[in-house]
Amino acid sequence: MSEELYHGIALALYMLVMLLIGWYGYKKTTDFDDYMLGGRNLGALVTALSAGAADMSGWLIMGLPGEIYEVGLSALWIAIGLTIGAYLNWLFIAPRLRVYTQVSNDSITIPSFFDNRLRDNSGVLRIASSIVILVFFTFYVSSGMVAGGKFFQSSFGTSYHTGVIIVGVVVILYTLFGGFLAVSYTDAVQGGIMFFALLLVPIVGLIATGNVSDTTSVITSVNSDAFSLLSGVSIFVIISGLAWGLGYFGQPHIIVRFMAISSVKEMKNARRIGISWMILCLLGTSLTALVGIAFFQMFPEYTLIDPETVFIDLGRVLFHPFIAGIVLAAVLAAVMSTIASQLIVTSSALIEDLYKRVINQNASEQKYVFLGRLAVLIVSIVALILAWPNNETILGLVAFAWAGFGGAFGPIVILSLYWKKITKTGALAGMLTGAIVVGIWGNISVLSGTLYEILPAFVLNLIVTIIVSKLTYEDNQEIEQEFNDTLNLLEEERAKE
């Protein structure tokens, strides 16, 4: 049996499992709330792994190891920033957002939470939030399509475009029918696959290259600064890397998991599982890149053409073809889990926050679910078109979208949860400021080449929101009572831990 056939069988089994989970989600989905938020009934393990898998897209297995392979551990400042940001997100945002979204008219999306929390009867804030989601998630989903195309091109010798289509079709199918539950369960399974593969590849690779001492010597002979966090790194690079952590507070596809967990009581376990998973995965991807430097130097008969495929190429060389196929499935897991999560949030923005808010609030649940599925299909097609030329790096596309959400939503989420006096006008002004700064800064090479656009966007958003809110604040007993009710309920929930 040929190597490609073994790979194909392993991947076919993986995709079949994903589609079966999609079918299970379809059978469990009875109304639009189920389709978009799974009835707020996720357990700690599924919440943690699905949030992690939704977060760690193709950049974890392709983009980040590619950067480390080329420049060394100085590329790790992004991972350090993300780890800090993820922990703070779980600690300070997750419990309060879970309670507040339920108290505030049972909000099931981030735009609807802003709308309900700030009593924006005009709907402008909700519509603006939805447009931000549509714009930046289209780029984000596109990055996943690019990663999928590169994966099949490297692994099976297919064309890049064939890979894009295969990934697109499978992820669209299980997201289209299964909704949030299918996405969460598949993400949890994919998170497990990613975890084991990212530990297995560097361990077996290290065995192949000899021992730690020999491997380290070869790595330093190729790049003497490979193990340095500071070599060739300016203060702006360090600040930019750490600033990635700010993005977590505004990522809809991640924080929506906090809204869906069954109770605050589950948060502590979910946080421990999620952060442990994240640290070990980042460790695995870093070691994969370093071991890859040594391996391809020691075994010149194997050629690495694209640094972003170092994980894929090591997996193919080191393992039996069937096991290699399972390892390769980890790449698809990273790619597909994030695409699916982003598609379901984008669908909710189109239907829950635009269609229901602006066009028709009285349609049947079945119609809303149908339109939600149609939205998934439309956004997927647009993202596929953007990914078709294959002229962007995965990390570059992810960086732009990550900054967009962190800069536009992050400060608004934090202030909505922790400051009574934020106003709808302040939130709208800050959100637009953050989104515009990302769009301008990220497309001017002189600026983006010095400092990652999320930092100026986040800071300016925060300043504008606070200033405008102070200028437009008026006492509102409903908002104040809801804020206090949230704090009281949060204390009650925490007392059960």
Q: Kindly report, residue by residue over 5-28, the tens digit of the pLDDT.
A: 887 888 888 878 877 877 777 777
Query: Domain extents for the chain?
Result: 3-395
Give the list of residues 6+ apart from residue 424 with CB closer than 8 angstroms, or none: 114, 118, 119, 120, 122, 124, 125
Q: Kindly report, residue by residue over 31-72, the tens digit of the pLDDT.
A: 666 666 666 777 888 888 888 877 776 678 877 898 899 988
Q: Kindly report, residue by residue over 482-491, the tens digit of the pLDDT.
A: 999 999 999 8
Residue 145: closest CA among 442, 381, 479: 381
Name the strand (E) or helix (H) holding 342: helix 321-350
pLDDT value at residue 219: 93
Q: Which residue has the tokens 């597909």?
A: 336
Can you identify the CATH homologous superfamily of domain 3-395? Sodium/glucose cotransporter (1.20.1730.10)
Predicted TM-score of the model (pTM):
0.86
Residue 296: closest CA among 319, 282, 313: 313
Instruction: Quote the DSSP letter at residue 42.
Output: B
Q: Kindly report, residue by residue over 96-131, the tens digit of the pLDDT.
A: 999 999 999 888 888 889 999 999 888 899 889 988
DSSP 287-325: HHHHHHHHHHHH-TTS--S-GGGHHHHHHHHHS-HHHHH
Q: Which residue has the higher pLDDT, 316 or 442?
A: 316
Q: Which residue has the tokens 């600040």?
A: 239
pLDDT value at residue 94: 93
Q: Which of the four pLDDT bands, split at 50, 70 and 90, describes residue 1?
A: low
